[in-house]
Amino acid sequence: MNESASQPFKLHLPGLLKVLAEHLYSNKQVAVRELIQNAHDGCRRRQSEASEANYSPQIRLEIDAPRRILRVIDNGFGLTRSEIEDYLATIGRSYTRELRQNLSALSPDEAAQLIGQFGFGFLSAFLLADDVRVVTRSFCGDEAFEWTSDGGENYQIRDAERDQAGTTVELRVKSAASFVLREGQLLEIVRQYADFLPLPIYVGNDPQPANLQTPPWEAADVESATQNYIERTFGAAPLAVIPLHDHTVSLGHDTLTLPLSGFLLVPAGSVVSVREYGDVLVFIRRMFICREDKALLPPWARFVRGVIDCPHLQPTASREDLHQDDNFEATRAALEIQLAEGLQNIARHDPEAWEKIVRGHTDLITGWAARDDAFFDAVCDIVTFRTSRGPLTLPQYLEESGGDVFFTTRELGSLQERLLAEAHGVPVIDASWFGVQPFLAKYAYRTRDCELVRLDGQSQELLRPVEDPLWSETIEFFARRGVTARVCAFAPAEVPALMFYPEDAEFAIEGRAALDEGEIADPLAALLGDYLQNHASDAEKVAGTLVLNASNDLARALAGENESASRDAAFDLIWQMARLFSGRTLNARDAARAFAGVTGAVELMRSRH
C-alpha cells in the first residue's frame, strides 16, 4: 500500500494573475483607488518612520494621452530592492498590513491611518494596463530601481534614476480603459474614492488638490461643511441631518467602543417601491469602499441615506464590499440606535422639521413601523397624522377624541364622514395613505386602551334613526324618483341631508359601464361580469341612500308641507347638493347633470316668488 505524502500546490502564475486582476474587481476604476492607496500608505510610512519637520506628502496623477500613459507619483517612503521582491512582487503579502501590526501596540493612531491590507491591490493595475513600470527610491538609501511587468510569469528589476524618495507607477493603458486618460473623468474617480484622504492629490497641472482631504465631520465648521458635502454628493438639501459618534457596546463585565464617524440624512421625499433609500456610502479609514450599501441600515430606514466611516468594518479582498461579520453587526446595531435616537430628538425639539419628514416619507415610516416592533416603539408616539384638525400625534389625537380613534380609509368622499364626526366633537384621521391603517391597528392592539372606529360606511353609526309619520310622504316622494331615502337625526343640524354609498359603489359603476361599452375583452369580461353579479352591491344600493336630517329645521319644514312645485324643487335641490357633497360615484357627466338639477330647482323656486 502506498503511503500518502504531502505535496505542494503548483501555480500557473500568468493564469493566476489574470484571474486576480480581471475577476477580483468588478470595476476598472478600482485600480485607480488601489494605486492611490499604495501611494498614500507610502507617504504615511514616511511620516511614521522618518523624522522630517518640513515633509509635505502629496500624490500626483499625470496623463500623457498621446502615449497612452497614466502615472501615479508620490513622495512617500519608497522601496528598497529587497522590499520590491518581498512585497511588490509577492502576491498576497502586504507591507502595509505588517507595518500596521507592528505599530498597533506602540502607536495605534498611526496604525489606524494605514489603509492597505491584502497585498492584492497592485495587481489591479493590470485591469488598466498592458504593462506596468515602477520607479522607486527608498528614503533609506540613494539607489533607485525600476520594476517592469506585462502581467506574465516574469518581471524585471534594474537600476534607475530618481532624484527624491518616493515611487512612480507608470501604466501603458489598454484601449478598453481609455477613460482614465480623460482628465475630467479621472478627477471624478479621485473624488469618489479618495475625497477624504488627509493628503493632497493633484490631477494634471491643476494647482488645487482634487480631494477635500478632510471629511465634513472633522471640518472646523462641521454644519456648513456637511451641508456643502451633501449638496455636492446627493444633489439636494436634506430635511434633517443626524451626526454619528463613537458607540459604546456593553459586553456584560466590560464595554467596547466602536469608532464611528459620519452622518445620516433624511432626503426631501420618497415613494414606496419607486424611490426608496435606506443606503449609505461606506468609508474605511477615509478610503471609499462602496456606495448604496442597504444592509447596514435597518429595513425600516428606507427614507434615510448616509455617509459612514468605521475602521472596524472588514472589506472583502477586492474592497468593493463588506464582510458581514461581528463588526458589521455591531455597526448596524449602532446605526439603528443612533438613528432612532436622532429621530426622537428631532420630533421633540424641532417639530417643524419632524412634520416635513413625516409628510415627505409617511408611507415608508408608517408602513415599516407596522411591521417592525422596535421601530414602532421608537416612533409610535411621535408620528403625526393628517386629521380633520390638522397634523396630530396619536397622544395628541387621543386627548382630543376622548380615547378612541376615528378614521376614514377613502380620501375621496370622506369629507362628509369628517363632518359627521366633528359635529360630535371627534377629530378624524385620514387613513387613505399606505401604512396608516395597519399602524393604527397595531397601536390599538399594543396599547389596548383605545378602540378603532372606521367611518367609511360605519359613519352611519353616528346617525340616530327616526320613525315619524311626518316623513312618510317625503320618503315616497323620493321613491317615485328612484331615490332610496331614510330619516335620521344627526349633527351638525345645519346639514339637511347626506348621501351614503356602499364601499364598492365606484368599482361596480365603472365595471358595469366598461362592460356595457365593450371596453373589456373576453375572457376578462366574463370574469368581471360574474364578479359583479355575485359580489358587487346591487344597482339600487349603488345608487346611494339619501339620509334626511330630522334635526334640520328646513328639512322638517319641507316634510310638513303639502305637495307643491316649490317644495318638490327644494327637495330636488337638497338631493343634488347631497350628491355633490358626497363626491362619490359621480363622473363628469353625472356631476354636470347634478349641477343642472340644482340650477333647475333654483330657477323653479325663483319663478314661484
- Model's pTM, two decimal places? 0.67
Region of residue 585 (left: phi > 0; alpha: psi -120 to 50; beta: else): left
Q: Say what percent of the chain tops pLDDT 70.
A: 75
Predicted pLDDT at 152:
73
198 against 527, higher pLDDT: 198
CA end-to-end span of the chain: 125
As a whole number of angstroms, the distance between CA 477 and CA 564 comes to 11
Q: How many CB atoms neighbour CB 447 within 10 A?
A: 12
* Average pLDDT of the segment spanning 158-175: 94
* Average pLDDT of the segment spanning 302-329: 87
Instruction: Identify the architecture of domain 464-501+544-607 in CATH.
Output: Up-down Bundle (1.20)
pLDDT confidence band for 521 (50 / 70 / 90): low
89 against 207, higher pLDDT: 207
Predicted pLDDT at 143:
93
User: Quick check: 106 pLDDT over 70?
Assistant: no
Say which DSSP state 173 is in: E
- Same topology, domains 14-203 and 216-350? Answer is no
Predicted pLDDT at 384:
87
Predicted pLDDT at 101:
45
Of the ranges 90-94, 213-217, 251-255, 287-291, the best mean pLDDT one: 213-217
User: Quick check: 216 pLDDT over 90?
Assistant: yes
Q: In the 3-class helix/strand/coil scheme, how is 67-136 assigned residue by residue?
A: HCEEEEEECCCCCCHHHHHHHHCCCCCCHHHHHHHHHHHHCHHHHHCCCCCCCCHHHHHHHHEEEEEEEE
pLDDT confidence band for 204 (50 / 70 / 90): very high
User: Quick check: 411 pLDDT over 70?
Assistant: no
Predicted pLDDT at 113:
39
User: Quick check: 256 pLDDT over 90?
Assistant: no
pLDDT confidence band for 258 (50 / 70 / 90): very high
The contacts of residue 115 (CB under 8 Å, 6+ apart) are: 37, 40, 41, 96, 284, 285, 286, 287
Predicted pLDDT at 208:
95
pLDDT confidence band for 500 (50 / 70 / 90): confident
Give the cell for residue 14: 500568468
User: Quick check: 126 pLDDT over 90?
Assistant: no
The contacts of residue 452 (CB under 8 Å, 6+ apart) are: 404, 405, 407, 440, 441, 444
pLDDT confidence band for 525 (50 / 70 / 90): low
Q: pLDDT of 64-103, one tens digit each?
A: 999 999 999 999 999 888 888 877 765 544 444 444 444 3
Instruction: Identify the residue whose cell numbers are 422596535.
Output: 374
Least confident segment among 144-153, 348-357, 583-592: 583-592
Give the cell for residue 38: 499604495
Predicted pLDDT at 104:
41
Residue 495 and residue 463 in contact, taking contact as beta carbons nearer than 8 Å: no
Q: pLDDT of 557-592, one tens digit each?
A: 999 998 888 888 888 889 888 887 775 555 666 667
CATH code for residues 216-350:
3.30.230.80
Q: Say what percent of the chain tops pLDDT 90.
A: 37
286 against 593, higher pLDDT: 286
Predicted pLDDT at 564:
87
CATH code for residues 383-461:
3.40.50
Predicted pLDDT at 522:
61
94 against 598, higher pLDDT: 598
As a whole number of angstroms, the distance between CA 137 and CA 145 comes to 7
Q: How many CB atoms neighbour CB 466 within 10 A?
A: 16
State the DSSP H helix or E strand holding residue 532, giving kind and residue range, or none if neither. Answer: helix 524-534
Amino acid at 513: A
pLDDT confidence band for 4 (50 / 70 / 90): low
Region of residue 78 (left: phi > 0; alpha: psi -120 to 50; beta: else): left
pLDDT confidence band for 499 (50 / 70 / 90): confident
Residue 36 and residue 60 in contact, taking contact as beta carbons nearer than 8 Å: no
Say which DSSP state 551 is in: T
Dihedral sign of CA atoms 110, 114, 118, 119 in order: negative
**Mean per-residue pLDDT of the chain:** 80
Predicted pLDDT at 519:
57
**β-strand partners of 387:** 429
The ranges assigned to domains in the chain are: 14-203, 216-350, 383-461, 464-501+544-607
* Average pLDDT of the segment spanning 193-214: 94
Classify strands 392-393 and 384-385 as parallel, antiparallel or unpaired: antiparallel
Domain 14-203 has CATH 3.40.50.2300: no
* Average pLDDT of the segment spanning 442-462: 76
* Average pLDDT of the segment spanning 152-161: 86
